[in-house]
Every structure is written in C-alpha cells, then in structure tokens.
Structure 1
Amino acid sequence: LLILVVSFVVGALGMKEMTWLVQSIAQVWVIAFVILFQPELRRLLIQLGQGRLVRRLFRMKTTRVIDEIAKAAEDLSRRRYGGLFVLQRDMGLRAVIESGVKLQSEATAELIVSIFFPRTPLHDGAIVINGNIIEAARCILPLTQNPNIDPSLGTRHRAGLGITEESDAAVVVVSEETGQISLAYRGEFLDRGMTADELRARLQQIFERVRGVEGMSTEGYGVSASR
C-alpha cells in the first residue's frame, strides 16, 4: 500500500526518474511476495476451488451439457443415426482432436444431431466434447485391444471402448443398426440399451466431482469409427 501511495505521489509531481524507480521496486516486491507466500497462496486457491459456489457453478454447467448430450443421443437413437461422443475429463485428448476437424462450437443437441446426419461430411468418426464445447468432429479413435468383448460389436463400439482404455474419457455410443444407446467408461460398457434419463443419471455420477487440471494427451490413433 505504501508503495502505491508513493508511486501516485511521484507520478503526480512529474518525477519521471523516481516514478521508474518506484515501479521497479513494486514489480520486485510482487515477485518476492509470490515467492514468500507461495504455500499460503496455493492453499487459498485450493480452498476457493473447493468452495460451494465454485462447485455449484460447475455442477450447473455440467448438468446443462449432460442434458444436451442426452437429448442428442435420444434423437439419434430415434432416427437410427449412428453417434459417437467422447466426453473429455481430466486427461487431455489433443492427439484425438487433431485427428479430426476442429469446430470449437457450443455443444447443443441440435448441432450434435446435425453432425451425425448420414449425408454430412462430418458424421463418420467421433466428436470430442470438452466442457460445453465440441472441440472437433470426425475424430479417429483407437480400437479396443480387449479380445473378450462381444464379437457382435461393430467398429463404432470398439472405437468407443478403445479410447476409454487409453484415457479417462467417458464415451456415448449410439448404434446405427439398433438405435441402442451405450456408455463406455474405464475400458468397459457400463450400460447398453439405455434410455436418455438413464444416460443422464450415469453421466452425472461420472462428472459430479470438480475436474482437475488437464494435462496428458493420448497418442497413436489410427482407425476411423464408422459403425
């Protein structure tokens, strides 16, 4: 506070050299403050992140996105359009995003359904949703390496399962043949043949905690998810 007062006074008096000196001291003081009180500042930020208001805002935002995803899955199921939604969590999915067509668009049910309309150029592959943003469409995913999965599952389901084996993402799969809605997470299908309400409830369970810092990106994707 004293430095701010001195800086204001010397500035008002037109003392340019003194103003430069005071500003330099202020910059050094800020750096020193951050270094000296780093543990306390870190604890403060953690407490803010764990506060009720932050959790409530995050939950409201997550609920809106999940509602849009559930609506889109229900609509695709009714129309018998295939769909593949990768829902990013803590682990980054840069390699997957870069394999597709970047969109950076708000995730709405209408946009998701339009992407997977069979005659559009973006319908073949997966979309990646990060928060409330569709990062990219027509993304390439890895196929599962699990030899014990149901042999009747097609490429879309195998790709959806594969990305959950290599990341912490949750994946919604809508079958083009049957209209079934499935949810893959941590290398397995939690449910198949879900209703929109069941999907919504399951996703709420997965995303109810506050997300951590995104970091790792997955590598080595080479098969397009089509059916």
Structure 2
Amino acid sequence: MDLFTFDFIQFRFVDLIDILIVAYIIYRLLTLVKGTRSAQMISGLVLVFSLAFIAFWFQLEGLMWLFSNLATVGFIVLVIVFQPEIRGMLAQMGHSRLFRAMSRYEGTRIIDEISRAAVRLAELKYGGLIVVERTVGLKNFIETGKALNAQLSSEVIITLFTPYTPLHDGAVIVSGDFLSAAACTLPLTKNPRYRKLYGMRHKAAIGVTEESDAIAVVISEETGEVSIAYQGLLDRGIDRAEFRNKLAEYFKK
C-alpha cells in the first residue's frame, strides 16, 4: 500500500515501518553509549561514514576502493570494540515484561536476608559487594571466585565480609536462594563519569550491571554508606531505614 507518490519515489507503509525500526535501533545504541568511552568512538564513526558517503557520491575511486576493502574487517572490529555495549543492549532486550515476571523471586526472604546483611555491614563499616543474578547468567564471574552453593542467609554474608577472613575481598554472587560464590572478580566500569569518584567495589558494582541485568549492593567500609547499582547507574547513599523498600523496588524492575 502506497502512502504517497512523489515524482519517481513511492513511499509505502512498509517503508515507514522500516524507517521507524532503524530509528529506534539508532536511538537505543546512542542511549547505551551516552556518557561512556564509546561516545567518542561514535563521533569518529560518523566522520568515517560521512567520508564514505562523499566518496561514493562523487565517485572518488581511491576512497571507494579503500572503504570497500575495509568494510568486512571494519564490521568485525566494531563488534569487538563495542562488545560490552552490544551485550548490554541484548540483555536489556531479553529482559522483557514476561522475563521480569518469570524471574521475580517468590516471597520476600531473599530481599530480607540481603537487606539485613547490608544494613549490618554498614553499621560495622565492613566493606561488601553483593550481586544478585537475574535473567542474565553470571557464570563467567562465578567461576572467578570460590564456589559456595550455600543457603542464602544474612549471617553467612556478614561472616564472608568480615575483615581478614579468607573470602572478604571481591563480590558475593547470589543465584536464586543460594550464595553461589564469594571472592568473585567483576569487570570495572569504564564510564568516565565514575572513574575518579569511587573505589574498586563501587566501580565493580556498576561494571557488572552494565553487562547484565544484575542488581549489585555495595557497602563502603570508609563511610558505611549503602548503595545499589542497576543498569550501569549507581543509587548512592540510601538511608538504612529505607534500604529494604528501595531494594524491593529494584527487584520489581
């Protein structure tokens, strides 16, 4: 079905759908890279594509040959360079309403145990990092730590993060109703917004949530401050009395 015809151009309904889909994909990509190191790379890519357009428009043989030969290699390079952003986008796409409904933990015990542990660690000023696995698996990160497969409990979490105990460094990963592993190594955020503001635990909390749909709870050993990281953003300095309610809100997302 044609929406309108202008001279030799026919604009069909399917063309409108095509344009809207492409516009949405571009919008999502720009949203993902905004404020990250990839934002500068996007600017460079715009310049390269502009040069390619000029080359083919004016039939500049030398540049056309160069861009034609670099096209395949360039695509592979782009996938490698933007791997974290692509992984994050696919994770968000898979985290639909249906998947969210399926992945919500039944009952309130998990939220209660994590909340009690976080608040107590904050009171003691013990540093801690608790990562809750959701629909995107964290197996790669679990394998970097010490396997536990222990029943989730606030007492165990507090013990794990007690200073000078063997597993107090790194992150604890929660999978369902179990503590999967402790002393896990997580990727650090490369977002320049956070690079100079926070310590290693906070950067790791943000980093793991950039690459998955996990929820990360981080406790500062310097200030006793409790924060929650989700989708690459840090909700900092949450009041201890309100922490459980705030954590429950993130579990609903």
TM above 0.5, yes or no, is yes
Task: Give structure 1 stretches of 5+ with no counterpart.
Answer: 1-49, 210-227
- Superposition misfits of 4+ residues, deviation over 6 angstroms: none
**Residue-by-residue CA offset, 1:1-55 (whole Å, 9 max, x unaligned):** xxxxxxxxxxxxxxxxxxxxxxxxxxxxxxxxxxxxxxxxxxxxxxxxx9xxx98
What's 1:109 paired with? Answer: 154
> Corresponding residue for 2:191?
146
Match for residue 170 of structure 1?
215
Cα offset for 1:205?
Answer: 2.0
| Shift of residue 195, structure 1, vs aligned partner | 2.7
The partner residue of 2:227 within 182, 186, 189 is: 182
| One-letter amino acid of the counterpart of residue 127, structure 1 | V
Query: Which range is displaced more, 106-115 or 146-155?
Result: 146-155
The alignment partner of 2:182 has SS state of strand
Alignment pair present for 1:205 and 2:249: yes
The counterpart of 1:88, out of the listed 133, 143, 146, is: 133
1 CA distance for matches of 2:242 and 2:154? Answer: 17
1:119 corresponds to 2:164: yes
- Could you say if the C-alpha distance between residues 157 and 92 of structure 1 is closer, same or farther in structure 2, counting changes exceeding 3 Å? same
Aligned equivalents of 2:231, 2:243: Cα separation in 1: 16
Distance across 1 between alignment mates of 2:110 and 2:168:
20
Contact map agreement 2:217 2:227 (CA 8 A) in 1: yes
Compute the displacement of 1:202 (Å).
2.4
Give the CA deviation at 1:119: 1.4
Structure 1 or 2: larger helix share? 2
| Distance apart, 1:197 and its partner CA | 4.0
The DSSP-based 3-state class of the residue aligned with 1:141 is: coil
Distance 1:73 1:151 in 2: 24
* C-alpha deviation, 1:150, in angstroms: 6.2
The C-alpha deviation readout for 1:79-124, integer Å capped at 9, x for no partner, is: 1100000111100000000000000011111100000001101000
Q: Distance in 1 between matches of 2:143 and 2:243?
A: 28
Preserved contact between residue 66 and residue 200 of structure 1 (Cα < 8 Å): yes
Q: Aligned in 2, Cα 1:195/1:107: closer, same or farther, shift over 3 Å?
A: farther
Using structure 1 for the length normalisation, give the TM-score: 0.63
Give the corresponding residue for 2:106: 59
The change in CA–CA distance for 1:88 and 1:135 in structure 2 (over 3 A counts) is: same
Which letter does structure 2 place at the counterpart of 1:201? N
1:78 aligned residue: 123
Which sections of structure 2, spanning at least 5 residues, go unmatched? Answer: 1-97
**1:132 shift after superposition:** 1.4
**Contact 1:122–1:138 (8 Å) recurs in 2:** yes
- Separation in structure 2 between the aligned mates of residue 197 and residue 75 of structure 1, nearest angstrom: 11
Match of 1:192 in 2: 236
Separation in 1, partners of 2:179, 2:138: 12
**Range that drifts further, 198-207 or 97-106:** 198-207
Q: How many correspondences in the alignment?
A: 153
**Residues 90, 197 of structure 1: CA spacing in aligned structure 2 closer, same or farther, 3 A cutoff?**
farther
What is the percent sequence identity of the aligned residues? 46
1:206 CA drift (Å): 2.5
> In the alignment, residue 193 of structure 2 is paired with which amino acid?
N
How far residue 171 of structure 1 moved from its aligned partner, in angstroms, is 0.2
Distance in 1 of aligned mates of 2:213 and 2:137: 9
- Partner-residue secondary structure (3-state), 2:131: strand
The Cα of 1:164 is off from its aligned counterpart by 0.5
Shift of 1:207: 2.1
Secondary structure of the residue aligned to 2:185 is: strand
